[in-house]
Structure 1
């Protein structure tokens, strides 16, 4: 239905531009500005203002004046509002929305027959996941969900760094030190137990005498060379460490929740010969130079060369990642990678090198994010001083439980809720608050996580939106069986009810925009707007006490709101509790 509306809007804009003898190559169809009741808008006036020789608002008004909504089923009117041409939905579109939004799959767009590999997190398997890096799995998983809602066939990949120096140090330390040399682990979990070896090894390399460090470095270098030479025993030694740490890390990430379809290891591209093949082709490029005991690419537009092979014949992370991306291009239509902002130079060099190797990098899309900080300050897993994600999630659940206990004291006293219910709600609200607070911000903006804001039931937070879903569930439970199949949408004449239906109707367009621009925070912003609109409706429009016809229509509207809130939260990976 939404795609039908979009097609009508595209036809209407194209016909108006043709009538005005203006180009139709870019129609500028997008989400309308905030506070506008339209479902779709066109920003084409911005593009055409210079060509027409008039300001955008005048161009938008002229385009709108050329549009006759009469032939269209879903367009009620086209209105020039400032520099936009905004399209108001017809009664038929709203009636169809009220019906289709009852379905569990509302907001899911048709299959696009396009495969996407989305790589996210890919944190080095050297210890527990810390808060600063928590944005990667949260943004990555939310983006994967949004793309699936938009009709893409998505695979979530974790690219495992199992061939770098850090892993060689970790493997050497694990094989060198006894557990009796180590402090007790912070948690009974594999990555917490293993990270003690990594920290001990780094401390040793920094504090031991020169001869001891030289001997250790020789063993570390032998591990790296063994990987490069394809030595099976070395692979097995490294895999024991990497797989153990990774098992614990992914269990933590799964609490968010975030899961992966495949763990792709760096060493895969060393063992199958594809890294060697990349090296040979890189050496043949005109910009390849041998300087400072290493093979490098003197890439145009970059001050820093890209080193791809050391003098001892060992490859680098970027070299192996080039082979990795060629593998992605072979198996998927599109490749999306979520990266920290500190990887931007490396990502830009990677993209430029892939172009030199003959690849169309339109397949490659990168989403960069900034860090998550706590008011207490910086974090560092290597020094063992950071705030682990497990600790943050535990505290979120504890704080949510205290808040829920206070708000639901009467129901607890009346035995309407038991401990299992309280645990479930505390987990849904607590983890939802962390996830929502992080995903709701533009990825490139830094975040300082604050408990008071994240767990505020009255403000623009996850609990605020989750409570709307719970309220919808409560109303529908009290309403009992109501025939919503033959509801008359005209019974929703109250302005608050009509506004809620128009807001529900925007959901598919929000999904499309978020997927197109790789901005899952757009969905989070929408959930707040939807929750506010529902609360206005709830305050002004009694549901259960209305007359029979109005009651049925409003119950149907509450059902549509419940589905839309649940799916919008699901699209960014936040649970929708049925009671709070």
Structure 2
């Protein structure tokens, strides 16, 4: 309802300004400061003060006098508070909010009939997913979920780098070394088993003598040339390694969960000739330069000093060359393309976008969002020699710590809810994985994170368990409720009830804004806001023990609305909503 109310406010305010012969280009409609009592407010009087030559409070009063609310369903009273024009809602707004939020799909917006491909993670298939890169699948999955809730037709893609030197080295090492040459795998899974070959190969290349290295490099170069030439046997050799490693990596990602609709391989754009076609077209542009035995793209007219090499002297393409073909394929199949990248890929992304523009593409359809790294506090987790901390290590530790926390909380109270070991395992998984996801996605992507267990698993602080507990509490109340029939929202007159209704009403607008800005951390902020507001309501407003039947029924409906809103806010972030904790 908030979105509809905002549209009514903007229409009424624009009409009033027009009637006063004042400009309507910037209405200044926003959620008001805490000390301003209104659902929405306009600061337009500030902007007009110098133009009109009058103090903002007087301008605000004139605007209020000119506003008509006759055609509005949700605008009640309009008043001023200092320089602000304040808009208050009608009872119909509360009724509509309470009614809409009874639907368990509350917060999902109507279809925009716009397709979006979200490419994220895309870690090189050379071994297990490392915790430092964990932010990519968590952020990427949350962005995709925000877009899905906002009504976009979303596909999630993983772009597989199966054509670069790293993969050629990996393939050579896999075919060169024996099991006896390798240490035991850290886990019984393909990515952990095969990464041993990759590490062994790189170590051997660093330590071998010149003659041995030269022979190995010849074999590695032959693999790269075979891929470039479209040799089926080479594709099969590389695919044997890549597919095994990828199958293991997918198991880690599914634990988050981060699910994908497609795994698109680089080699597809070599085999179908589209990478070669991109090279031919680039050569014909005014930006193409042949220098130092390589074809390069001068992008200085796009504000980029570093040239983009798109064809090596040996005739092989580069990652970005193939990615150009990949993105033109995206443009053929989707209306928008969103890519989630680490901050170290900013230059590459800028070069890619500029090159796509040189090729004549509409680059307004391409959006990139960047993230900084996730660090662990010193001594926060054990690391294996030479391997660092894998995502699986982090998730295992998260579930173990969550189980300890759940069990310690049970020990501190009378165990009257008969939680079984199976229940505790379920809650530990939901809370542990949820704590990792929420803590990472709740921060602005460009800020680096030091992950801290005490903060992430704090049931009393601004964390996933804090929000999850609100959902579980709602479920507990509703399990004992037995109200059917008509509910009257006008029975909700207490300040805490009104505050909760107002926060619930804003959820669809929060989804809309988070999707537009590709900022799922805004939903994490909202989840904390509604949880705090619900807890204030819970403390002050008895639900099942309310004496007035109409009030009891309305409060139960309000709890149901809060449950749906919290559940869907968590779902947008990829965090499970436990029914008991």
| Contact in 1 for aligned 2:3/2:506 (Cα 8 Å) | no
Equivalent-residue separation in structure 1 for 2:298 and 2:83 (angstroms)? 45
Alignment of 1:407-486 (within 5 A): 407-409=409-411, 416-479=418-481, 481-483=482-484, 485-486=485-486
Partner of 1:88: 88
Equivalent-residue separation in structure 2 for 1:572 and 1:456 (angstroms)? 18
Partner of 1:280: 280
Equivalent-residue separation in structure 2 for 1:454 and 1:218 (angstroms)? 50
Partner of 1:144: 144
Partner of 1:341: 343
Q: Tell me the alpha carbon deviations over residues 159-196 of structure 1, each in whole angstroms, 9 at most, x when there is no partner.
A: 11000111111111111111110001111111111100
Q: Tell me the alpha carbon deviations over residues 245-264 of structure 1, each in whole angstroms, 9 at most, x when there is no partner.
A: 11111110111111000011
* Structure 1 residue 94, shift from structure 2 partner: 1.2
Partner of 2:296: 296
Q: Tell me the alpha carbon deviations over residues 249-292 of structure 1, each in whole angstroms, 9 at most, x when there is no partner.
A: 11101111110000111111111111111101111111211111
Alignment of 1:42-441 (within 5 A): 63=63, 66-78=66-78, 87-300=87-300, 301-376=303-378, 384-409=386-411, 416-441=418-443
Q: Tell me the alpha carbon deviations over residues 371-396 of structure 1, each in whole angstroms, 9 at most, x when there is no partner.
A: 110112899x9983311110000000
Equivalent-residue separation in structure 2 for 1:378 and 1:470 (angstroms)? 30
| Contact in 1 for aligned 2:106/2:568 (Cα 8 Å) | yes
Tell me if 1:558 matches 2:559: yes
| Closer/same/farther in 2, CA of residues 42 and 511 from structure 1, 3 Å limit | farther
Equivalent-residue separation in structure 1 for 2:45 and 2:339 (angstroms)? 33
Larger displacement relative to structure 2 (39-48 or 138-147):
39-48
Equivalent-residue separation in structure 2 for 1:58 and 1:356 (angstroms)? 53
* Structure 1 residue 302, shift from structure 2 partner: 1.5
Aligned length: 577
| Closer/same/farther in 2, CA of residues 506 and 19 from structure 1, 3 Å limit | same
* Structure 1 residue 349, shift from structure 2 partner: 1.0
* Structure 1 residue 77, shift from structure 2 partner: 4.0
Equivalent-residue separation in structure 2 for 1:57 and 1:324 (angstroms)? 56
Q: Tell me the alpha carbon deviations over residues 447-469 of structure 1, each in whole angstroms, 9 at most, x when there is no partner.
A: 00000000000000000000000
| Contact in 1 for aligned 2:191/2:248 (Cα 8 Å) | yes
| Contact in 1 for aligned 2:16/2:68 (Cα 8 Å) | no
Equivalent-residue separation in structure 1 for 2:361 and 2:58 (angstroms)? 43
Equivalent-residue separation in structure 2 for 1:382 and 1:50 (angstroms)? 65
Larger displacement relative to structure 2 (7-16 or 449-458):
7-16
Equivalent-residue separation in structure 2 for 1:317 and 1:49 (angstroms)? 55
Q: Unaligned regions of 5+ residues in structure 1, if any?
A: none
| Two-structure CA RMSD over aligned residues (Å) | 2.5
Q: Unaligned regions of 5+ residues in structure 2, if any?
A: none
Equivalent-residue separation in structure 2 for 1:82 and 1:269 (angstroms)? 62
* Structure 1 residue 16, shift from structure 2 partner: 2.7
* Structure 1 residue 5, shift from structure 2 partner: 2.7
Equivalent-residue separation in structure 2 for 1:518 and 1:240 (angstroms)? 36
Larger displacement relative to structure 2 (6-15 or 424-433):
6-15
| Contact in 2 for aligned 1:374/1:448 (Cα 8 Å) | yes
| Contact in 1 for aligned 2:36/2:81 (Cα 8 Å) | no
